[in-house]
Structure 1
Amino acid sequence: MVTVSSWLRSPCPALVVDAVGAVHGMNDAAKTLFPEQALPPEWRHGESVHVADRSYAAHRVDNEDGSVTWWLLDETDLLLERERAGLLAQMSSALMTSLNPERCMNVVAELAAAHLADEVLVIAPPSGDGHPMTRCRRGEAPTYERQHVDVEEVIGLSEALRGFPPVPSRWIDPAAAPEWLAAGVVSIVVTPLPGHGVPAGALILMRRDEQFTEDEEAFARLFASRAGVAISAASLFTQQAVITDRLTRDLLPPVLRRYEHVELAGRYRASGDTERVGGDFYDVHELPDDQLFVVLGDVCGKGLDAAAQTGKVRTAVHALLQVVTDHEKMLHALNQALLTTDESRFITTVVGTVRPVDEGLHVRLTSGGHLPPLIIRANGEVEVARTKGTLVGILPRIKTATDEVVLAPGDSCLLYTDGITEANGGPLGDEEFGEERLHRALAACGGMPAEALVEHVHMLASQWVGGGEHDDMAVLAIAAPRRRPS
């Protein structure tokens, strides 16, 4: 039970209203709130009361004499915190819409200009061509650029950009601010943008007509903590994407150059639609006396793990070619290299040496457990190269057999991986493309240029698979150009 003396001394405003709405009494806190002891005319009993930028929730207590005591609880700070929490949630959602650093900086500047300041500058740590900077005025679109500026001219900015030691927000005297930062403002606050273990930059807030309050600066720090995480996440993602792209480019088969006496063409398709690299590979290396060393292979497995092993094999072959070009010695050395590095991933491969001769091209072919190459004569006859061998990277010693063929003008030699012949598809979706079907298709390819040949084989396999799953596919064609009439 509330006594008369207790409610009068309560720090919480309280007033007594009779049945017709007339005020019969106020405690001291209410009198302070309503000096003239008159309620706002727009206030309806039971609703919140708004007085001098403060908001009070009205709570009713019924008295025995029929009057009502209204207790007014100040909820301004609670409502502000709720509004800010909702705003921070909205900001966080907007900040996570992009993993592009430039776009993310623009979003940070737009949000800050809309809710925190009249003008905003977001500045990131320097790169080779200056500081990335986004400037935004309230109601305008942000502008992004890179500038070479002296951050030491702004107190606390260089520390914020380094991210260490941790620094608080700094209030900057506008009169001492450099021209590149701002002009015509009355208040400047520099707030660090903390990131994922790395500095994301700094948020500079500027106002033209009024000073920032400490409460507003504290809220700006909360926003900056979320903005910094978003910017650093975008930067780290971009860095990883660049690294991945560079590494991937090194793992992809090379672009084959043109030669006067030899036509070369290759096609590669990784196993998954989202994969760019896999376990199939081919390379062409130049040797003395206009000779070419070609290699095509298939690493056990697929995806990134197989691609990593592919990179090791290609590097090993390139290094071995500096000291040995004999096929048998090359494959034995490669076998030993794989045994000492990764016994769990064997490979199948076929290597060849191509040398121009008067008749066309002399080609030596040696298989290391791989499908033998196919010879397509100009008249459409298809021959299987007489080469075979054991898998590379499993046994201490391997056995190989080398075949030598001469490609007359219009003849071709096709090296391919089992991703072509073992491609599942067809009318029912569960039939392999197979060696026989490949041979029949090649019989119509006599005299084709190397580029047309690999494109045709690749197209047939892709059509056979359709939208189904498939293994890595690699095709390499060597062709003797048709001689032009003299």
Structure 2
Amino acid sequence: MVSRPAPASALPPGAELPGHAGFWRSVLDDVRDPVFLQDPEGALRWANAAGERLGPAELVSVTETTGKVGHRPAKIRVLPGGWRAWTVVDDGRRRPEEFLAEAGPKLALARGRHGTARVIAELAASALGDCAFVLLPTTRGRWEWWSCTEHGAAGHGRIRRVPAQLAPVVSDAVTDLARPEVRAVPATEVAALPAAVAEPFEGHLEISVVSFGSGMAGAVLLGRRGEAAFGLAQGQAVEAFADAAGTALANAQRYARQEEATRGLESTLLPTPPAQIDGANFELWYEPAGGVLGVGGDFYDVLPRDDGSAFVVVGDICGKGAEAAALTGRVRHSLAALHLVERDGRTMLRLLNELLISGGSNRFATLVLGSVAAAESGLDVTLASGGHPAPLVLRRGGRVEEVSVPGTLVGVSPQARFAEATTHLDEGDVCLLYTDGVTEARNRTESTELFGDERLYTVLEDCVGQPAREVVRRLREAVREWLGNSGHDDIAVLAIEAAPRAE
């Protein structure tokens, strides 16, 4: 809703506006245009803040209602008692707020320290001057710079930090963490700067520097060949832009630190390639839900043992995102240590259950884990389960079997019970371990419809007799087609195939 000023006749009967001078001075001080008050004798008696920034100027009448303040056109309004108000009229220049409104979204969209600094230089050269350099301190006593000229030519490089005794104004601006402040840079100081920075400013009428503020070290060096784009409001425009630019740079650096921390966390959580076991092929499909981290609550591991067997696990931590990923790392690292000293899957699940409960986490997990070992022919797969979807075996002879391994959720109750079962895989048989991200995938057009167990069995029945790689490929294609472009929960699939042994 737009509020419009009411005409005087619309005021309530008897209402009066304050008449004291202090009230009107406060009101006029917020007016953007310069305003001057002239007494009946023609003497200048007062100017608002914008007028004071304009500096001493002669008031010259042209007509009863128009005049000039210096060389600038002004409107004259006759006031009671012979006083007159002179208002310098808008000379058609672009207003700072219009430029800042356009610059804000561009700064927000910039990515990284480099990208943000480059955008700052481009915006500054497009409106605040004919040449702009962004200077940021970096390592080993150097300044990194990004430049842009009125022709759009951009540059980037590094220079040695200029000593304060040679360039005190620029040096102070780069290190000033307070609010942005525009400062004129003497020609002698510009000449003392490295040639890569100094030469582009040759022939400029005015050179200035403005600090960023926002607790951000760095500055923008501006060169102008002609008249200021924003006239009297040039300084205001430059300082407001520098403040917004400093905030954008601070955000970019904060985001970069978060990305670095995220990459460090991911490096400790990402699954490792599966172990190589004679007579076994392992095929994987690992696809976390979208998020900041490239890992999620679902996980797998295939770790080698000294006796030539492998420890395998597929699990699902309740929830998703960073908190689930952190607990995933804790569970994986705990199991990686436990399997070195314990081979019984039920015991490992019991110990993990106690660990999660004693840790105070309100999240639980479902897991299926065990060992894969070579037999006289094929593989023996021994699995224990804690509330996880049942493993499925694709028999080369033409059927899909479910391995019944009952067990309760891990991390919920101290009385949890777990079971274990062993199944034999002949050459060409495939055992599939998976998380419920497969069966609970939601349809791309009807979000209430899940992929479900029936579709999973249908896909797998068509894959009987195929190698593990083909089984995983077909399952992945079926689920992705079902999902379309819609989001999904974390997915982890591990296929174990009995393969010919090396001779």
Distance 2:355 2:122 in 1: 57
TM-score by length of 1: 0.77
1:178 pairs with 193, 200, 214, which one?
193
Cα 1:49–1:203 change in 2 (3 A) is same
CA deviation profile, 1:259-294 (whole Å, cap 9, x unmatched) = 553211111344569985432211121221332211
State the partner residue of 1:295: 313
Letter in 2 for 1:182: A
Residue 55 (structure 1) aligned with residue 55 (structure 2): no
Residue 347 (structure 1) aligned with residue 365 (structure 2): yes
State the partner residue of 2:124: 112
Distance 2:455 2:95 in 1: 70
Distance 1:460 1:134 in 2: 49
Residue 405 (structure 1) aligned with residue 417 (structure 2): no
Distance 2:143 2:471 in 1: 51
Q: Aligned-pair distance for 1:321?
A: 3.2
State the partner residue of 1:477: 495
Residue 237 (structure 1) aligned with residue 255 (structure 2): yes
Residue 390 (structure 1) aligned with residue 405 (structure 2): no
For 1:32-71, what aligned pairs fall within 5 Å after superposition? 33=59, 39=62, 49-50=67-68, 52-59=70-77
Letter in 2 for 1:321: H
For 1:117-132, what aligned pairs fall within 5 Å after superposition? 117-127=129-139, 131-132=143-144
Cα 1:450–1:148 change in 2 (3 A) is farther
User: Secondary structure of the residue that 1:445 maps to in structure 2?
Assistant: coil
State the partner residue of 2:104: 92
Cα 1:468–1:143 change in 2 (3 A) is closer
Cα 1:431–1:216 change in 2 (3 A) is closer
State the partner residue of 1:150: 161
Distance 2:311 2:374 in 1: 12
1:438 pairs with 439, 442, 456, which one?
456
State the partner residue of 1:101: 113
Q: Aligned-pair distance for 1:50?
A: 4.8
CA deviation profile, 1:174-225 (whole Å, cap 9, x unmatched) = 3342324313367543322123x4x2521122356899x9985565333322
Question: Which structure has the larger Rg over C-alpha atoms?
Answer: 1
The answer for unaligned runs of 5 or more in structure 2 is 1-37, 46-57
CA deviation profile, 1:333-388 (whole Å, cap 9, x unmatched) = 21121011134211110112112344122222111222221121212222222422
State the partner residue of 1:15: none
Letter in 1 for 2:254: L
Whether the 8 Å contact between 1:410 and 1:446 is mirrored in structure 2 is no
Cα 1:290–1:157 change in 2 (3 A) is farther
State the partner residue of 2:35: none
Cα 1:162–1:455 change in 2 (3 A) is farther
Distance 2:449 2:148 in 1: 61
Whether the 8 Å contact between 1:418 and 1:473 is mirrored in structure 2 is yes
1:203 pairs with 220, 236, 241, which one?
220
Q: Aligned-pair distance for 1:121?
A: 1.3
Q: Aligned-pair distance for 1:72?
A: 6.6
User: Secondary structure of the residue that 1:140 maps to in structure 2?
Assistant: coil
1:193 pairs with 194, 212, 216, which one?
212
Letter in 2 for 1:174: A
State the partner residue of 2:52: none
1:7 pairs with 40, 46, 56, which one?
40
Question: Which range moves more in the overlay, 462-471 or 287-296?
Answer: 462-471
Whether the 8 Å contact between 1:380 and 1:444 is mirrored in structure 2 is no
Whether the 8 Å contact between 1:58 and 1:70 is mirrored in structure 2 is no
Whether the 8 Å contact between 2:369 and 2:384 is mirrored in structure 1 is yes
Distance 1:108 1:421 in 2: 49
Whether the 8 Å contact between 2:107 and 2:120 is mirrored in structure 1 is yes
Whether the 8 Å contact between 1:99 and 1:238 is mirrored in structure 2 is no
Identity of aligned residues (%): 33
Distance 1:106 1:429 in 2: 43
Letter in 1 for 2:44: P
Q: Aligned-pair distance for 1:303?
A: 3.7
TM-score by length of 2: 0.74
Distance 1:319 1:49 in 2: 88
User: Secondary structure of the residue that 1:392 maps to in structure 2?
Assistant: coil
Distance 1:352 1:129 in 2: 56
Distance 2:175 2:186 in 1: 22
Cα 1:201–1:6 change in 2 (3 A) is closer
Cα 1:419–1:206 change in 2 (3 A) is closer
Whether the 8 Å contact between 1:200 and 1:229 is mirrored in structure 2 is no
CA deviation profile, 1:23-51 (whole Å, cap 9, x unmatched) = xxxxxxxxx655xx9x4xxx8x86x5456
Q: Aligned-pair distance for 1:424?
A: 4.9
2:147 pairs with 93, 116, 135, which one?
135
Whether the 8 Å contact between 1:253 and 1:268 is mirrored in structure 2 is no
Question: Which range moves more in the overlay, 113-122 or 463-472?
Answer: 463-472
Letter in 1 for 2:187: P
CA deviation profile, 1:5-29 (whole Å, cap 9, x unmatched) = 97344538xxxxxxxxxxxxxxxxx
Distance 2:98 2:160 in 1: 36
Q: Aligned-pair distance for 1:135?
A: 1.3
Letter in 2 for 1:280: D
Whether the 8 Å contact between 2:177 and 2:213 is mirrored in structure 1 is no
* Count of aligned residue pairs for this structure pair: 445
Distance 1:83 1:222 in 2: 12
Letter in 2 for 1:179: P
Whether the 8 Å contact between 1:300 and 1:346 is mirrored in structure 2 is yes
Distance 1:265 1:364 in 2: 18
Q: Aligned-pair distance for 1:477?
A: 0.5
Q: Aligned-pair distance for 1:144?
A: 2.8
Whether the 8 Å contact between 1:200 and 1:232 is mirrored in structure 2 is no
1:356 pairs with 362, 374, 394, which one?
374
Distance 1:257 1:392 in 2: 26
Distance 2:360 2:93 in 1: 59
For 1:304-315, what aligned pairs fall within 5 Å after superposition? 304-315=322-333
State the partner residue of 1:75: 88
Question: Which range moves more in the overlay, 328-337 or 100-109?
Answer: 100-109
Distance 1:467 1:361 in 2: 38
Whether the 8 Å contact between 2:142 and 2:160 is mirrored in structure 1 is yes
Q: Aligned-pair distance for 1:54?
A: 1.7
